Amino acid sequence: MKQKIIEGAEQLFMRYGVRSVSMDDVAREVSVSKKTIYQHFNHKDDLVTETARNYLTGEMKEISEVTENAADALEELFLLSKCIRQNISRVNPSLLYDLQKYHPDAWEVFRDYKYNFIMGKVMSNLVRGKKENLYRTDINEKILSVMRVEQVQLIFDERAFPKGDFDFVEVQVQIFDHFIHGLLSDNGRKYYQSYQKKHIENQLK
């Protein structure tokens, strides 16, 4: 029952954000009484934190599985970014703002995911790309891994990219394209061009 409640809450939070979803909404979503929810969670903040932890645990598993067999750093970065973009596209842009302002415990769960798991993935990718002569040897992987995770969060910031003025997916694509061009060595640039061509050809099949 607890997992059922978490999964129902996750669907609502992803769709509408956190602040606009009440415990009554969650009860209706999973077809249980609000009393049943409070048997498993002390209050909404407790539910939000557990839901964030459950969702991010699943996302970490998915990203690890998707990227573990990448042939090289460039493919790994593509797969990592594609997976993150797909997950982001399911999230209401207000979600992170709601967590940061109203649910500090859940926000800490997200920050741990962001600064440990995602940043670690990006940093190891940058090190790998330098060894494979795909990325410039003079890049500082620590600085650029911080920059990349902050870029991903910036996409959610409606003060920077208001929904009425920007297409969410286009913002993601443009920022990623800018980031990756700043990494590439001369060899990596040639490889990237052939990789893009192959990717487009596969899409047309």
For the purposes of burial, counting CB atoms within 10 Å of the CB of 25, is it exposed (0-12), middle (13-18) or buried (19 or more)? middle
- The pTM of the full predicted model, rounded to 2 decimals, is 0.82
Question: Which candidate, 76, 196, 64, 68, places its Cα nearest to that of 132?
Answer: 76
pLDDT tens string 89-103: 777 878 888 999 999
* Confidence grade of residue 50 (pLDDT, cut at 50, 70, 90): very high
CA distances from 150 to 30, 72, 117, 153 (A): 35, 24, 14, 5
Give me the pLDDT at residue 199, please. Answer: 63
Q: Does the pLDDT at position 43 exceed 70?
A: yes
Give me the pLDDT at residue 204, please. Answer: 42
Contact status, residue 73 vs residue 134, Cβ threshold 8 Å: yes
